[in-house]
Structure 1
Amino acid sequence: MKQIATIYGINGPIVYVKGKTTFQMSEMVYVGNSKLVGEIISLNNDMTTIQVYEETSGMKPGEPVYSTGEQMSVKLGPGILNNIFDGIERPLKTIEEQVGQYITKTVQVEPLDTERKWPVHVTVQVGQEVMGGTIIAEVQETKTIVHKSMIPPHIEGKVVEVVPDGEYTITEPIVKVKQLDDTIIDIPLAQKWPIRIPRPVRRRHEGSVPLITGQRIIDTLFPITKGGTAAIPGGFGTGKTMMQHQIAKYSDADIIVYIGCGERGNEMTEVLEDFSELEDPKSGNSLMERTVLIANTSNMPVAAREASIYTGITLAEYYRDMGYDVAIMADSTSRWAEALRELSGRLEEMPAEEGFPAYLASRLATFYERAGLMQNLNETEGSVSVIGAVSPQGGDFSEPVTQNTKRFVRCFWGLDRGLANERHYPAVSWLNSYSLYVDDLSPWYRDHVSPDFINNRRQIMEILHQESSLMDIVKLIGSDVLPDDQKLTIEIARVIRLGYLQQDAFHQEDTNVPLAKQAKMMEVILHLYRQCRELISMGMPMSLLLESPIFSKIVTIKYDVRNDQLELLDQYIEEIDQFYNHIMATNA
C-alpha cells in the first residue's frame, strides 16, 4: 500500500482526485489520514472519482489516497457462518469488542479471524492435478456445515506439497501448487474475490427442483425453484420482513445469507436475536450455524449500502461452489436503489424516472442474474436463490424499482395492504402475484408429491379468481341474488383463504407445513367442493349445506392435524362423504 495521490474535493461519500494517476477502475483504495475504505468508480486524464464506504466528515483536501492494487474484494474462508458483517465485510462483533457499539472511522479489522486454528482434513495428494474449484481441504466450520476450501479460480497445476491433517489458521499454506508456468504458489484455507465479478461456473442448469419454504401460498400457488429469483413488494407493515424470516427459517436451503440493506437497526437486532435462539429444524442446532448476516442499517454510510448486496451474493456464490444450496434474503432492494440514487446525485449524473439513475435496471439485472442452479468448476452442483424485498413508497407497484425488478425475476409475491389490515398473513395477493416456474416444476411435483398436485393447484386458483369476479357483483346487489352454484364458489373460496392460504407464524403446526400435508389439504378442500357441487346440481339449496359444520371444520385442519399425522386427513374425506350421504338420505 503506497500513497499515489491527494484529495482534491469531497462531496459526501464521493471524493475527487485531480490529475492523472495510476489507479485502476474498481480498485480498492484507502482515503485520507484515517484510511477510509473506498473504491475507484470513474477515471479519466483529469479526474479520479472515489466512492468511500465510510463517513467522510472531518476529511480535508490535501489528505493522502493510498493504492492497494486490488479490486474491492471480500475474504472467503472458514469463519463466515455464524457471523454478522457490515456492507464491506467488517465483522460487527469484533468491532464492538474494539470500539463499542458505534463504528468509528479509524477502526480497521480483519474480515475473518486470522489467529483461530481450524481442524483441517486435507483432501488432495502430492502429484495430483488440480484446477480452479478443486477442493483441497475440509473444515467443520459449524456443527451443521462442513467448509470445503478450494483452489481459487484461474489457478491450475500440480500439487507438490501438502500439510498433514491438523489445526491451521486461514492464512497458513495448506498445499503448494506448481502452476503451468513452473511457478509455485501457496494455497491457504482463505481466498479473496472481487464482489462485482460473478464467480465462474462450468454451466448453468434450468431449475427443476422447488425451494420448499413451508409456506403454503408459496409452495403451492407461486413456487420458486432452487436457483430462482423472487420479489416481495409491499408497503410498510404488509409483512415483507416477516415473510423473509419465515423463508430463511424453514426453507430447505443449506445456507442462508440475510442482507439487511438500509433497514432499521432494531429489525436487524431482532433477526440476530431470533436466529440465534431458533432451533434449526434440519439439525436441531442454532439457525445461525448455517446463516451469515450482512447488516447495513439506515444509519450506516450510504455507499456501503450499495456494496452490501454484492458482498452478500459473493459469499453465497462461494458456498454454492462447495455444492450447497444457498438462499439470499435481500431486505430491501428499494433502500439499495435509494443509495444508488443518492450517489448518482452526488456525481451530478442525469436522473431518470423519479430521480433514480438511468442504469437502475442494469444494476438490478446484474444482481438478480447471479442467481441460478450451477454446475461448478469442481463438477458439484449448487444453487443461489435470490429473494428480494421491495418497499415501494405508498405501496405503489408502478414505481421504478418494482417495475424494473419484475423484468428480472420469475416470481412476484405482491403483498396486499387490505389483506394485511385484515390480519391475513402471509398477505400475498393471489390475484396480483405469479410464478413462471410452475411449468418447470410440474414434473417434480407429479413424481415426488402427488400426480394431481398441479391440477389441484389450478382448480384452487380458478376458484379464487371466480370468487373475485363474483364479489364485484355481491358488492353491487348482494349475495342473495346469486345462484347456489356461485354461492358455493364463494363459500369454498372462503375455506381456501382462511383454511389454506392464511398461515399462523406463531402456531407450532401451522408455521411450517410439509408439502405432503399441503397436497392432502388441497385434496380435502376440493373433495368437499366436488361433493357439494354435485348436491347442488341435484337441487339441494346452499342454505341447507351451510347448516352443517363441515365447512368450519375443514378450515381448522391446519391446526387440528399435526404435520406428522397426515393419515388423519383421510378421516376428513370420509366425514365429507358421510355429510354427502346424510344430505342425500334426508332429502330423498
Structure 2
Amino acid sequence: MSRARITAVAGPVVRLRPEGPFALGEAVRVGPAGLLGEVVRLGREEVVAQVYEETTGLAPGMAAEGSGAPLAARLTPALLGRTFDGLLRPLEAEGDPFVAPGGGPAAPVAVDFEPRLAPGDRLEAGHPIGRVTLDSGRTLPALLDPRLEGRVVRIAPAGRLSDAQPVATVATEAGEVEAALAHPWPVRRPRPVRRRLPAARPLITGQRIVDTLFPLAAGSTAAIPGGFGTGKTVLLETLAKGCDAEVIVYVGCGERGNELAGLLEDLGRLEDPRTGRPLAERTVIIANTSNMPVAAREASIYTGVTVAEYFRDLGLSVALMADSTSRWAEALREVSGRLGELPGEGGYPAYLASRLADFYERAARVETLAGWEGAVTLLGAVSPPSGDMEEPVVVHTRRYVRAVWVLDTERAHARFYPAIHPLTSYSEDAERLAAWWHARGQPHWEQGRARLLRLLEEERRLARMARILGAEALPPEQRLTLLAARLVNEGLLRQSAFSEVDAHCPPERQGAMVRLVLRFLDLAAEAVGCGVAPEEIGRLPAFLALLRMAEEAVGEAAFAALAERLEEDFTRLGCPAARRGAAP
C-alpha cells in the first residue's frame, strides 16, 4: 500500500504528492481520521482523490494511504432490514447518533448457517456453499465471493456464526483461501452472470396507470421526471411499499432527511402481505441526505446497485429506487468543477451520459452463475429545474430507460395521484408483456390499452375546443368522448395513496375495472347512436358507481353486481347492446 502527502484541499477534492504507485479508482484513507476517498486522476507527480466525507480540518502535509483495492461494498445477507449511508456504513443509532469520521463497514452480524457442501466437494463460482437464516426468519442461500472457486478443504458446521467469520477454506489455483459469508465487491464493477434473459413478466406496482398503460418489465428500467411538488418521492415510496419485488433497495440520493425518516417509520409499521412480517425486513435503505458530503452522493448510486446485484445473485427479484438521479448528477457537476474539467451542457461534465448509461445498464433479468433466475429493476426519479423536460439529465436518461412516467404539474395541483401524464409518458415494454396479461384472463389487454390511450388523446384535442366553444356546442359523439375520458381518469387512473382499499391494486382487480370501463364505452357509444344524450348517460346510477368503484367495489361479487347494474341501466335507456349482454 502506497503513501502520499496532501498538497491542496478544495472541498471534496484532495490533491496528493505520491510516495509510491497508485491506481485509478483505488480507495484511499486521507488524514489522521482516515477519511475514505477514491483516486479519480493520476498525473506524473500528482494524485487527485475525491473524499466521501467532510474534509474540514485537512491540511497540506497530512498523510494519505492507498488500500491497494478499488472502492468496494461489504456484501452479506444481513444487509436486509438495515439503513446505511452512501458508503454502506450503518446509520443505526447505537449510543452515539453520529457517524464517526473515517468509519468502517458495518459490524459483523450473527446468522444461523447450514452447510450444503462437505470437505472434498468442488465449489463452482457463484454457487451456494450452504444457506443462512436471518433473525427475521428469512432463509437465503449462502454465497461466497463469485470470483472464488475450487475444492472445499474445510467448512463450518451447522450453527450460529458471524458473517465475518471464515466459513470455509477453499483450495484454488493460487492456494488455499479462507472465505467468510460477507465479502467486498467493487461498487463500479457489475457482478458476473451466466446470461441475460428477455423480459417475461411485469414488475407489478399496484398502480393502475403504470400496470395498465405503461407497464415495466422485471429487470427493466424506468425514469420518473417531474417538477417540484409533483409527487416523485411519494410515488417511489408507494412503489417501494407495494411492488411485488422480493427485495427493495431504496437510495435516498440528496433527499431531505425527514422524508427518509417517514419512509423508515412506514416500512417498520406496514406488513408484507406475502410473509406477514414488517416490510422493513425486505428493504435496504441507503440514505445519503442533502446535508451529507456531496461526493458520497455520487458513490451512493453505485453502492445501491451493487447491493441490488448481490441479492439478485441469490435468485431474487430486486427493485432499486433512486431518488433522485438529478441530485446525483449535481454532485457530479460540483466535483467536476472542483477538478477544473471543461463543463458540458448545463454545466454538467461531458461524461454525464456515459455515467447514466453505466448505472441503468446494470438492470437486467438474468440467469445467475448458480443457474437461478434473478432480476434488478431500476427506477430513477429525475428533478429537472423548473420542470424543464429538455434539461440534460432528463434528455440523457430517456436514452437508457425502457419506460418514462412523466409527472404533470397540472394533474398534481389538481390532487390527481399518481400525477403521471398519460399522453407524455410511454413504455417500450408493453408489447413484450402482453402475453403475461393474456395468461391471466385478459386476452385483449393490448387492444384495451390502446383504446384507452386513443380516448385520452382525443379528449385532449376536444378539451381545447370545449374551452373555446363550450361543451354544449359539440356534437353528441364528442360530448360522450369527454364524459368517457372523465370516467377513465377519475374512475380508473386516479388512486389514493392513503386508502386501505385502493392504495394498492392487484392485477385481477385492475383487469375487472378495465373490463367494466371498456364495456361502458361500448354501451354508451351505441346509446348515443340511438339518440340518447351523453348528459343522460352521465346521470345513470351505474356511471356514478363506476366513478367510485376504486374505493367502493371490493371483491369479485361487487364487480359482478356493478356489471349487472351497468347492463340494466342501459337496457332502461333502450340500448340493444345491453339487452344482448356483454361480449364473451
**What TM-score do the two structures reach when normalised by structure 2?**
0.96
Do 1:149 and 1:190's aligned partners in 2 also have CA atoms closer than 8 Å? no
Alpha-carbon distance in structure 2 between the residues aligned to 1:164 and 1:548 = 71
Alpha-carbon distance in structure 1 between the residues aligned to 2:120 and 2:525 = 73
> C-alpha displacement at 1:139, in angstroms?
1.2
Q: Does residue 571 in structure 1 map to residue 571 in structure 2?
A: no
> What one-letter code is carried by the residue in structure 2 that aligns with 1:80?
L
Q: Which of 121, 124, 131 does residue 128 from structure 1 map onto?
A: 121
> C-alpha displacement at 1:561, in angstroms?
1.4
Alpha-carbon distance in structure 1 between the residues aligned to 2:536 and 2:279 = 50
> What one-letter code is carried by the residue in structure 1 that aligns with 2:540?
S
Alpha-carbon distance in structure 2 between the residues aligned to 1:543 and 1:239 = 34
Aligned runs of 1:199-238 on 2, under 5 Å? 199-238=191-230
Do 2:250 and 2:284's aligned partners in 1 also have CA atoms closer than 8 Å? yes
Q: Which of 260, 275, 281 does residue 289 from structure 1 map onto?
A: 281
In the other structure, the counterpart of 1:495 is: 487
- Stretch deviating more after TM superposition (185-194 or 445-454): 445-454
> C-alpha displacement at 1:3, in angstroms?
5.9
Q: Does residue 331 in structure 1 map to residue 323 in structure 2?
A: yes
> What one-letter code is carried by the residue in structure 2 that aligns with 1:207?
A
Corresponding residue SS for 2:439: helix
Aligned runs of 1:139-538 on 2, under 5 Å? 139-143=132-136, 145-181=138-174, 183-538=175-530
Deviations 1:194-238 (A, max 9, x none): 000000111111112100011100000000010010001111111
> What one-letter code is carried by the residue in structure 2 that aligns with 1:280?
D
Q: Which of 112, 115, 119 does residue 106 from structure 2 map onto?
A: 112
In the other structure, the counterpart of 1:70 is: 69
Do 2:86 and 2:300's aligned partners in 1 also have CA atoms closer than 8 Å? yes
> C-alpha displacement at 1:451, in angstroms?
0.8
Aligned runs of 1:81-120 on 2, under 5 Å? 81-93=80-92, 96-100=93-97, 102-105=98-101, 108-109=103-104, 111-114=105-108, 116-120=109-113
User: Unmatched 5+ residue regions in structure 2?
Assistant: 580-584
Q: Which of 562, 565, 582 does residue 572 from structure 2 map onto?
A: 582
Alpha-carbon distance in structure 1 between the residues aligned to 2:145 and 2:16 = 34
Deviations 1:443-502 (A, max 9, x none): 111112411222211111111111111111112211112111111111011011001100
Deviations 1:413-443 (A, max 9, x none): 0000000110000000001100000111011
Give the CA RMSD over aligned residues: 1.6
Corresponding residue SS for 2:260: helix
Do 1:371 and 1:383's aligned partners in 2 also have CA atoms closer than 8 Å? yes
Do 1:414 and 1:428's aligned partners in 2 also have CA atoms closer than 8 Å? yes
Corresponding residue SS for 1:327: strand
Do 2:537 and 2:543's aligned partners in 1 also have CA atoms closer than 8 Å? no
- Stretch deviating more after TM superposition (359-368 or 457-466): 457-466
> What one-letter code is carried by the residue in structure 1 that aligns with 2:561?
Q
> C-alpha displacement at 1:126, in angstroms?
2.2
Do 2:75 and 2:184's aligned partners in 1 also have CA atoms closer than 8 Å? yes
Aligned runs of 1:36-51 on 2, under 5 Å? 36-51=35-50
Alpha-carbon distance in structure 2 between the residues aligned to 1:19 and 1:152 = 31
Change (3 A) 1:138 1:480: same
> C-alpha displacement at 1:544, in angstroms?
3.0
Alpha-carbon distance in structure 2 between the residues aligned to 1:568 and 1:6 = 73
> C-alpha displacement at 1:550, in angstroms?
2.4
> C-alpha displacement at 1:103, in angstroms?
3.2
Corresponding residue SS for 2:119: coil
> C-alpha displacement at 1:263, in angstroms?
0.7
Alpha-carbon distance in structure 2 between the residues aligned to 1:542 and 1:435 = 33
- Stretch deviating more after TM superposition (28-37 or 152-161): 152-161
Do 1:320 and 1:382's aligned partners in 2 also have CA atoms closer than 8 Å? yes
User: Unmatched 5+ residue regions in structure 1?
Assistant: none
> C-alpha displacement at 1:17, in angstroms?
1.2
Q: Once the two structures are aligned, what percentage of the paired residues are identical?
A: 41
Q: Provide the aligned length of Structure 1 versus Structure 2.
A: 577
In the other structure, the counterpart of 2:582 is: none
Do 2:113 and 2:132's aligned partners in 1 also have CA atoms closer than 8 Å? yes
> C-alpha displacement at 1:559, in angstroms?
1.2
Corresponding residue SS for 1:404: helix
> C-alpha displacement at 1:542, in angstroms?
2.2
Corresponding residue SS for 2:567: helix
**What TM-score do the two structures reach when normalised by structure 1?**
0.96
Alpha-carbon distance in structure 2 between the residues aligned to 1:300 and 1:487 = 54
Do 1:250 and 1:281's aligned partners in 2 also have CA atoms closer than 8 Å? no
Corresponding residue SS for 1:59: coil
> C-alpha displacement at 1:548, in angstroms?
2.1
Corresponding residue SS for 1:7: strand
Corresponding residue SS for 1:79: helix
> C-alpha displacement at 1:98, in angstroms?
4.8
Do 1:27 and 1:72's aligned partners in 2 also have CA atoms closer than 8 Å? yes
Alpha-carbon distance in structure 1 between the residues aligned to 2:7 and 2:448 = 66
- Stretch deviating more after TM superposition (537-546 or 116-125): 537-546
Alpha-carbon distance in structure 1 between the residues aligned to 2:6 and 2:412 = 51
